[in-house]
Amino acid sequence: MSLTPLELERYDRQIRLFGIEGQVRLKKSKVLIAGIGGLGCPAALYLVAAGIGEVIIVDSETVELSNLNRQILHWTSDIGRPKVDSAVEKLRILNPDVRIVGIKRVIDEELLESLVPNVDIVIDGLDSWKIRFILNRICVRYKKPLIHAGIHGMYGQLLVVIPGITPCLQCIIPREPPEIKPFPVLGATPGILAMMQVVEAIKLITKIGEPAINKIIVYDGYTMTFREVPVNRNPNCPVCSLKQ
């Protein structure tokens, strides 16, 4: 696989970072974005802009007015439309070179079983622990890197899961914590966490830098601090147990 003259021009500034080889790696890659909301929208924009070969986005919801402070691919005129349609339309305009697949379906185990084995990396844009745990389990089963983020108000956390190497989500959060819905959120909070997800995804694909593994990064917008919590694989993890 090679790059066209237009691709060489479009990606010039990042080819200066990781070379044509890195850009070709991006072009060959497939990324699944589970949920096209506060995290998924900015993550999709930057992944598509970066020239990922194929981006698959999944979401079952329609755009609501209260989404618009943070779900930046959805605009006022999109209220009532499926989020997937709203996102795919704009992403295709942003970068026609990227194959963008939109799937308007409830995210469940059956759907994830059909999608996860065929992608290189999964971006967690979900807002429920129950589905996150299913996603984590399927990513571990198929050994696909999962880039988790969660947000609340002015806070968020990032965890990069590389199955077999790092702790999985349930090593750290074994049981579903109680959820607060609707949760408060400043729009920029998922923007920050989504950018961190994209940086980690691109690093993994292009093989530059060091992945942010074996730690949770906790973002605190009130103090504008990023603190690292070291985490370890848990031999008793219900999902990726070393004893299995």
Binding site for other proteins (CB under 8 A): 35, 37-40, 124-129, 149-153, 155-157, 167, 171-175, 177-180, 183, 185, 190, 214, 216, 218, 220, 222, 227, 229-232, 234, 236-237
Alpha helices in the chain (DSSP H): 5-10, 12-28, 40-50, 83-94, 109-115, 129-141, 169-172, 188-206
CB closer to other proteins out of 93 and 180: 180
192/194 Cα distance (integer angstroms)? 5
CB closer to other proteins out of 16 and 181: 181
CB closer to other proteins out of 91 and 171: 171
Give the residue among 125, 162, 130, 168 at the shortest CA–CA distance from 32: 125
At its nearest, how many Å lie between other proteins and the CB of residue 98? 22
CB closer to other proteins out of 143 and 227: 227
At its nearest, how many Å lie between other proteins and the CB of residue 54? 22
Pairing of strands 54-58, 146-152: unpaired
CB closer to other proteins out of 9 and 64: 64
Contact 124, 112 (CB under 8 A): no
At its nearest, how many Å lie between other proteins and the CB of residue 189? 8
What the block records as the tokens of 118 is: 């065929």
121/204 Cα distance (integer angstroms)? 9
At its nearest, how many Å lie between other proteins and the CB of residue 21? 33
